[in-house]
Structure 1
Amino acid sequence: MPQSRMLWLATMVFACPWPASVQAQVKLDRIFPPVVAVGAAGDLTAEGEFPSWPAEIICDRTDLEWSVGDKPGQLHVRVPAESAPGVAWIRLHDATAATSLVPLLVSTAPVTVEHEPNDRRSEANALTLPCTVAGRLAKRGDSDAFRVPLKQGDRLVVSATAHQVLRSPMDAVLQLTDPQGNVLAQSDDVRGLDPQLVYEAPETGDVLIRIFAFPETPNSTIDFSGSPSFVYVLDVTTGAFLDHAVPGQDAVLGFGYGLPSPAKVVVQPATDVSPPVGFVHDALGWCWLPVTDEQTSTIVSQDAKFTTLPAIGLGHLSGPDDLARFRFEVRKGQTYRAAVDSRAMGYPIDSNLSLYETSPRRLIVSNDDASRSNFDAELKFTAEKDSEVEVVLSDRVAGFGPRHLYRLHIAEFEPDFRLSVAEDHFNLSADGPAAVTVSVDRDRGFDAMIRVSAMGLPDGVTCESVISEAKGDTAKKVTLKLMSTGKKPRRGSFQIVGAALNGEKQPGGLERKAALALRPAVPVKTFSLTGPAVPE
């Protein structure tokens, strides 16, 4: 990982670290408020455990300017006026350990922090639009209310960010009521578990926005839930709002409400953590953009033919009878894979794929969920002859709408493998090696041995490569052991690389980097490493 792209804000030199075995480790749960505005500066609180302070701040965005206060958890940030919206990923370091990455949202609208009491209609916080609200449902039974003036014909967009990006363990609900409490609109589970509400005002007057939540994992309680971890952000506007954007064949296409036509989507380059971000000037909202291989063609259509593979079909199921149809030529004996991205990106399509031979028309195979935990459809098939086939994408529950976005990937398929880990950081101990568990996913019977290695380790840290055999205990999981041999504290980053071995046990095929799905659209492939000096 190029260190020039990370902001290293040194705040203290630790000359005599305590042994890791006797010192509590630094822990960052969240930052509150979890959002800052472009062109503004503000005080933030790092919530967690900080056995020694001040700490060092690492941020994947170099445009944000950071400092720390005297008391544990006190942070200060300044966001330049020319900065882009999106997410800054924050990590704290002390002498012996590092925290997990925690998100801080960056908004183009002024930020308002909700203030209590605001549970009752008469206590609703007044908002001036457009704005971004930072709040917390701090205890069981908590709800927050906000008052917004609307004119007849205004389109109000209220979009919540909580579970999907902030990882707040809440299933939030948004309600819009009149001042007497009559419900005008309600929303939940639009962006994953996060709600988004769009309402056109039939008359001039005030409305109330109300947010409450249930636990992300349902339980027997029927009351509203809450805790210090139930933090949320609301984007609230009657102006332009970018809901999502996707790379087309010649340009990035933006979709939302009140956007200019065509909407010019600005692309903020990827960082060492975050994928590229798309946004539109003078519009609230942003989105991560999927990264597409340059050799993959993209067609924005619901009825087209791919002339080359791999390819991506991109579109929306906007109407009640919409289907997406894509045709391509297959070769006898070749295996192909078609896979949908929708639910995994936070969109609502409950997809089903059906594959037909076009002449004579004959159903070959149909499938919905790719796996028990992946609700996007996937199918694999081996062509019985040279022919043209058509893959048809539908919604299993006949859903449709402006957010029913899909990306359909079609490619020739060969056996492959993937590596994954469960953490984005690893802390060494002076007492012994740090164990890193690497999960191995062998797709379509991939039967080669895989050599798994830690690459780019800082000086003074060693790790022996391990072999994942095609069968047995190591076929699905291996353990790397990182050992510190230096006399100074160690800090740096590294990657985990798997190399397929040939019959002579030498690299001769596929190489894959291990990844952590930090968020559905954020795969992290570079990991943090921290460790104390080895006592003499």
Structure 2
Amino acid sequence: MPAGATAGASTPVDASGTFTSWPVQIWCSHPGVHWKCLEKAGSFEVSVNAGVRDQVAWVRLYNEAGATPAKPFYVSPRATKTEKEPNDRILEVTETLHDNEVTYGLLEKNGDVDHYRLALRAGEPFSATLDATRSLRSPLDAHLQLLDERGFVLTENLDRYGYDPGIAFQPKKDGTYYLRVFGFPVEPDSTISFRGGADWCYRLQWQRSQLPFDAFNAEGILLPSVAPEGPSPTSKDSAATVSLPLDTQRAILHNKETHFYRIQNLGGKSLEIQLLAQSIGSYLDATLTITNKEGKQVSFQDDDKTNRDPKLVWQVPDNEEYWVSVSDFHKLGSEDRVYRLQIRERLTSLLATAPAELKESKANEEFEWSIALERINNWTGDVEVLGVGLPADAVLTNTQFAVTKDGPKAHAVKVKLPTPWQGPFALQLKLAGIETPVTVAGPTQAGVWISNVVTK
């Protein structure tokens, strides 16, 4: 704690757990985030370069015995502070939170409840967001409430941003108010009670404005809202032709409203069409529809598996005119039914992922690293696996294979390191006929790591 720090400043951070040796070495995915061990075991000083934008950095501790799994650490230009205990009851709270200030908290044990004091003004908009699962990968399914000075609940929310809550309110009078945080496990079990633990962390922020509609990209960087250009495309006549890549943000303002985007002269291209709504805090129950120039439906997507935000992959059959349309499943419209539409081309290639992000082994002991494979645009051909960032004496075998229309859907490369070594590395796939190698993605943005240590 805390699970984040401010750009342009140094922040003391304490890690939970037991350290059998100290100091340890620290690896961080962001070059502008610097960790230093302090004298006390488990205590660090984290310095973040000025100008670093809102994003997740990944941190891993290691020593001669091995490495920890990578953990997310949030960096932001906003001022930060850490929760002060005791705060289980509103009478115990001693500090008032300021707007646009980020507070890092922890529900450290079962039954834990956190309270924070605010000073709000009559008639001014108020909103608060809590981030636990989106960027911090916390097991916390948080509940956020706004209380008056007597402790009565004025508004509350459980899942405005997926599992993370957000609330908005306009007070009728000046005064003291409180935010209350408690939670349940993301993975439910048979226990019916408030829960907590050493990794049940969260970041809390409030502002004198409406709720933000923010999204994180694949690299864990917070994407600010995109200002729309021109009037909403509520008819085919008002729609512009899509230029790739497209990233636009708008709102379905009126009941039965539909927005249209023209696809033309993109024959043969494979498009990934993603619609962000619930994940950015919108009330839009979004649907994606593709129709041809005769109005016949070509493709439709409502929910993407367990996610209410639709996503589809579509092979454009020809250069004729097609329409991508966005609407609300319930035909409702309002200012908070916002969506972000992203359309990009999927180039012919292989999608490669590694289920494991950390592999521990003994020196000179061969082990396998499994790679899951998915063909993009029906690619077939020969593949060679390359190891990038490994020591010079590393030996990789089973590095060549062929992909056909029948598979394989996975491949295991064998790795042997004759001498002790640990660190981050990358597996890359060199595909026949494609110039740029494909980097195998890990389960997080931290990539993959080997701890090849001597066993005493």
The match for 1:437 is 370
- In structure 2, relative to structure 1, the CA distance for the partners of 1:237 and 1:410 (3 Å cut) is closer
- Is residue 137 of structure 1 aligned with residue 107 of structure 2? yes
Deviations 1:276-308 (A, max 9, x none): x5xxxxxxxxx2479xxxxxxx97874265557
- Structure 2: which 5+ residue stretches go unaligned? none
The match for 1:376 is 310
d(CA) in 2 for partners of 1:94 and 1:146? Answer: 38
The match for 2:206 is 236
Task: Note if contact 2:302-2:308 (Cα within 8 Å) is conserved in structure 1.
Answer: no
- In structure 2, relative to structure 1, the CA distance for the partners of 1:300 and 1:381 (3 Å cut) is farther
- In structure 2, relative to structure 1, the CA distance for the partners of 1:377 and 1:78 (3 Å cut) is closer
Task: Note if contact 2:396-2:413 (Cα within 8 Å) is conserved in structure 1.
Answer: yes
- In structure 2, relative to structure 1, the CA distance for the partners of 1:241 and 1:108 (3 Å cut) is farther
Number of residue pairs the alignment of both structures matches = 445
Deviations 1:473-516 (A, max 9, x none): x6111112221123xx3244322222334xxxxx5577422112
- TM-score of the two chains, using structure 1 as the length reference: 0.72
d(CA) in 1 for partners of 2:281 and 2:210? Answer: 20
Deviation at 1:160, TM superposition (A): 0.9
- Structure 1: which 5+ residue stretches go unaligned? 1-31, 248-272, 278-286, 291-297, 502-506
The match for 1:490 is 421
| Matched letter for residue 246 of structure 2 | I
The match for 1:454 is 387
Deviation at 1:355, TM superposition (A): 1.8
| Matched letter for residue 57 of structure 2 | A
Task: Note if contact 1:214-1:224 (Cα within 8 Å) is conserved in structure 2.
Answer: yes
d(CA) in 1 for partners of 2:384 and 2:278? Answer: 30
d(CA) in 2 for partners of 1:323 and 1:369? Answer: 17
The match for 2:441 is 515
Q: Secondary structure of the residue that 2:143 maps to in structure 1?
A: strand
Q: Secondary structure of the residue that 1:361 maps to in structure 2?
A: coil
Describe how 1:13-52 pairs up with structure 2 within 5 A.
32-52=1-21
Equivalent in 321, 333, 346 of residue 388 of structure 1? 321
Equivalent in 357, 365, 372 of residue 292 of structure 2? 357
| Matched letter for residue 394 of structure 2 | V
- Is residue 167 of structure 1 aligned with residue 137 of structure 2? yes
Task: Note if contact 1:87-1:104 (Cα within 8 Å) is conserved in structure 2.
Answer: yes
d(CA) in 2 for partners of 1:433 and 1:400? Answer: 59
The match for 1:258 is none
- In structure 2, relative to structure 1, the CA distance for the partners of 1:97 and 1:155 (3 Å cut) is same
The match for 1:117 is 86
The match for 2:174 is 204
| Matched letter for residue 366 of structure 2 | P
Deviation at 1:314, TM superposition (A): 1.0
Deviations 1:404-454 (A, max 9, x none): 33223154x675420011234433422612321111112454443433332
Equivalent in 293, 310, 323 of residue 258 of structure 2? 323
- Is residue 99 of structure 1 aligned with residue 68 of structure 2? yes
d(CA) in 1 for partners of 2:186 and 2:177? Answer: 28
Q: Which moved more, 1:218-227 or 1:335-344?
A: 335-344
Q: Secondary structure of the residue that 1:516 maps to in structure 2?
A: coil
Deviation at 1:39, TM superposition (A): 5.0
Deviations 1:371-427 (A, max 9, x none): 5678523152553x653221112232447544733223154x675420011234433
**What percent identity do the matched residue pairs reach?**
22
Deviations 1:67-102 (A, max 9, x none): 213343121234466655544332212124233322
Describe how 1:249-288 pairs up with structure 2 within 5 A.
274=219, 277=221, 287-288=222-223
Task: Note if contact 2:213-2:281 (Cα within 8 Å) is conserved in structure 1.
Answer: no
Deviation at 1:178, TM superposition (A): 1.0
Deviations 1:127-161 (A, max 9, x none): 14133222211222221111212121233232212
Task: Note if contact 2:161-2:278 (Cα within 8 Å) is conserved in structure 1.
Answer: no
d(CA) in 2 for partners of 1:442 and 1:516? Answer: 17
d(CA) in 2 for partners of 1:320 and 1:475? Answer: 48
Q: Which moved more, 1:366-375 or 1:92-101?
A: 366-375
Equivalent in 128, 147, 165 of residue 117 of structure 2? 147
Describe how 1:274-353 pairs up with structure 2 within 5 A.
274=219, 277=221, 287-288=222-223, 302-303=232-233, 305=239, 307=241, 310-321=244-255, 322-330=257-265, 334=268, 336-342=270-276, 346-348=280-282, 349-353=284-288
Deviation at 1:211, TM superposition (A): 0.8
- In structure 2, relative to structure 1, the CA distance for the partners of 1:356 and 1:313 (3 Å cut) is farther
| Matched letter for residue 439 of structure 2 | K
Q: Secondary structure of the residue that 2:91 maps to in structure 1?
A: helix
The match for 2:59 is 90
- Is residue 77 of structure 1 aligned with residue 30 of structure 2? no
Deviations 1:221-252 (A, max 9, x none): 332222222111211333798653799xxxxx
